[in-house]
C-alpha cells in the first residue's frame, strides 16, 4: 500500500540561471498528492485531508497504473493562468450537489510535476529528471483533459522568470535536476521565486495590541477609487513601530474613511506608507503584503 506522503517544500529565492536546475511555472492553486491503487484513487494535501470527494472530474486518475503516486497543483485556469479565488471557492464546497455542479461549471485541472511511485516502485531517491521523464510518459499514454504535465526549461531561469511574471503568473519554481524527493522537508534543492511589487498606500486604521498595535489596515487606489487593500502585520522595526503607534494615537476618528471588511480602530487618512506585496487579486487586495516605511503621499 502506498503511504500518505507529505509534500516536499521549497525555500524562497531570487531569480538565477543554472544548467543544473529545472525552471517551471509556480501555479497558484491548491497543492495535492494523489495515488492510484487497484483501480481506485485518493487525494490529499499538506495536512493529509481527503481531497478526493471535492473533485469528481478527476476520476480519470483511475486510468493510471496501479501503484502510481503523483504530486501536483489543483488549479482553475482562466486564459492559461491560474485563478486562485476560483480554486479556493471550489475547495471550500462540501455539498455533493454543489460540488457536482461546480465540477461542470468550473472544472479543475490537476497540473502534475512529480512522480513518486511508478507501478508500485518508490522513486523518491531517483533524481528529479528521471521522475519527470517517467511522469511525462504516463500522461502521454493515459491522456485526460483534466490532467496536465507542468512544462519547464533548464538554464535560463532569469529570462523565464521575467516572461512568466509578465504573463500574470504567481512566479516560478527552481528545482535541482538531481534532487531526490524529501517528504515534508523544506530544502534548498527546490526554490520558489516570486516577484516583489511595491505601491503607495494610505493607513486607514489599526488593530490594537498592548501599548502599540498588532497590524495596520491600508487602502490604495483601485479602479479609480480608494479601496481597502491589506492588513499589514510585519515589515517595521521596533523604533518604527513605536513612532507609528504615537502618530496613530493622535489621529483617531469614529468611522473608517472607506468601507472596510475588517474591525479596527480607525484613523484620519493622512499617513502614507510604501507596501511591498506579491500579487494583487481581482478585487484589488494585496497578497503577501508588508510595510516598507512611511512616505509623503500616494503619488
Q: Residues 21-30: pLDDT tens digits?
A: 999 999 989 9
Do 63 and 181 share a structural domain? yes
Do 130 and 23 share a structural domain? yes
In a domain, 175, yes or no: yes
DSSP state of 50: B
DSSP state of 267: B
Contact 169/28 with Cβ under 8 angstroms? yes
Do 175 and 93 share a structural domain? yes
Using DSSP's 3-state secondary structure scheme, residue 65 falls into coil
Mean pLDDT of 241-261: 93
pLDDT digits (tens, 9 = 90+) for 128-159: 999 999 999 999 999 999 999 999 999 999 99
Q: Is beta strand 186-193 parallel, antiparallel or unpaired with respect to 9-12?
A: parallel
* φ/ψ bin of 20: left (φ > 0), alpha (ψ from -120 to 50), beta (otherwise): alpha
Do 63 and 182 share a structural domain? yes
| Rounded-to-integer distance, Cα 250 and Cα 208, Å | 14
Contact 177/154 with Cβ under 8 angstroms? yes
Q: Roughly how many angstroms between the first and final C-alpha of the chain, as a whole number?
A: 60
- Give the CATH number, domain containing residue 116: 3.30.470.30
In a domain, 99, yes or no: yes
Tell the residue number behind the cell numbers 529528471, with chain if given. Answer: 129
Do 119 and 34 share a structural domain? yes
- Give the pLDDT confidence score for residue 166 in this predicted structure: 78
Q: Tell me which of 170, 191, 212 is where a domain ends.
A: 191
In a domain, 291, yes or no: yes
Q: How many residues does the chain have?
A: 299
Contact 39/62 with Cβ under 8 angstroms? yes
In a domain, 272, yes or no: yes
In a domain, 80, yes or no: yes
Do 99 and 84 share a structural domain? yes
Please say if the pLDDT value at position 299 is more than 80.
no
- Strands (E) across 194-289 are located at 197-209, 212-222, 225-232, 265-266, 272-277, 279-280, 286-287
Do 218 and 91 share a structural domain? no
In a domain, 2, yes or no: no
| Rounded-to-integer distance, Cα 255 and Cα 5, Å | 49
Please say if the pLDDT value at position 111 is more than 90.
yes
Contact 76/82 with Cβ under 8 angstroms? yes
Please say if the pLDDT value at position 190 is more than 70.
yes
| Domain limits for position 226 | 197-295
In a domain, 4, yes or no: no
Please say if the pLDDT value at position 43 is more than 70.
yes
Number of domains the chain contains: 2
- Give the CATH number, domain containing residue 241: 2.40.50.140
Q: Tell me which of 158, 191, 224 is where a domain ends.
A: 191
Do 218 and 168 share a structural domain? no
Q: Tell me which of 143, 171, 191 is where a domain ends.
A: 191
Do 179 and 246 share a structural domain? no
Do 206 and 159 share a structural domain? no
Nearest to 217 by CA among 240, 246, 244, 239: 244
Contact 277/268 with Cβ under 8 angstroms? no
Strand (E) or helix (H) holding 295: strand 290-295
Do 277 and 210 share a structural domain? yes
| Rounded-to-integer distance, Cα 141 and Cα 125, Å | 24
Do 242 and 162 share a structural domain? no
Amino acid at each position: 500500500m502506498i503511504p500518505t506522503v507529505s509534500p516536499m517544500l521549497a525555500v524562497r529565492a531570487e531569480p538565477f540561471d543554472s544548467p543544473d536546475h529545472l525552471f517551471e511555472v509556480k501555479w497558484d492553486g491548491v497543492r495535492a498528492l494523489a495515488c492510484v491503487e487497484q483501480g481506485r484513487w485518493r487525494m490529499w494535501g499538506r495536512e493529509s485531508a481527503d481531497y478526493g470527494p471535492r473533485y469528481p472530474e478527476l476520476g480519470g486518475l483511475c486510468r493510471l497504473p496501479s501503484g502510481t503516486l503523483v504530486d501536483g497543483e489543483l488549479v482553475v485556469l482562466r486564459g492559461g493562468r491560474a485563478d486562485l479565488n476560483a480554486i479556493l471557492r471550489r475547495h471550500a464546497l462540501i455539498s455533493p450537489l454543489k460540488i457536482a455542479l461546480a465540477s461542470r461549471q468550473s472544472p479543475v485541472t490537476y497540473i502534475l510535476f512529480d512522480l513518486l511511485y511508478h507501478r508500485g516502485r518508490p522513486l523518491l531517491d531517483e533524481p528529479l529528471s528521471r521522475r519527470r521523464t517517467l511522469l511525462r510518459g504516463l500522461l502521454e499514454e493515459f491522456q485526460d483533459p483534466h490532467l496536465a504535465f507542468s512544462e519547464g526549461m533548464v538554464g535560463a531561469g532569469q529570462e523565464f522568470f521575467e516572461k512568466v511574471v509578465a504573463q500574470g503568473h504567481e512566479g516560478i519554481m527552481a528545482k535541482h535536476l538531481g534532487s531526490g524527493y524529501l517528504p515534508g522537508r523544506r530544502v534548498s534543492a527546490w526554490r520558489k521565486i516570486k516577484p516583489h511589487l511595491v505601491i503607495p498606500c494610505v493607513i486607514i486604521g489599526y488593530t490594537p495590541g498592548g501599548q502599540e498595535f498588532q497590524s495596520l489596515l491600508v487602502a490604495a487606489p483601485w479602479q479609480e477609487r480608494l479601496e481597502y487593500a491589506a492588513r499589514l502585520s510585519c515589515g517595521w522595526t521596533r523604533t518604527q513601530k513605536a513612532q507609528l503607534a504615537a502618530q496613530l494615537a493622535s489621529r483617531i476618528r469614529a468611522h473608517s474613511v472607506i468601507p472596510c471588511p475588517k474591525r479596527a480602530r480607525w484613523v484620519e487618512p493622512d499617513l502614507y506608507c510604501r507596501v511591498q506585496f506579491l500579487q494583487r487579486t481581482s478585487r484589488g487586495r494585496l497578497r503577501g503584503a508588508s510595510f516598507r516605511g512611511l512616505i509623503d503621499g500616494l503619488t
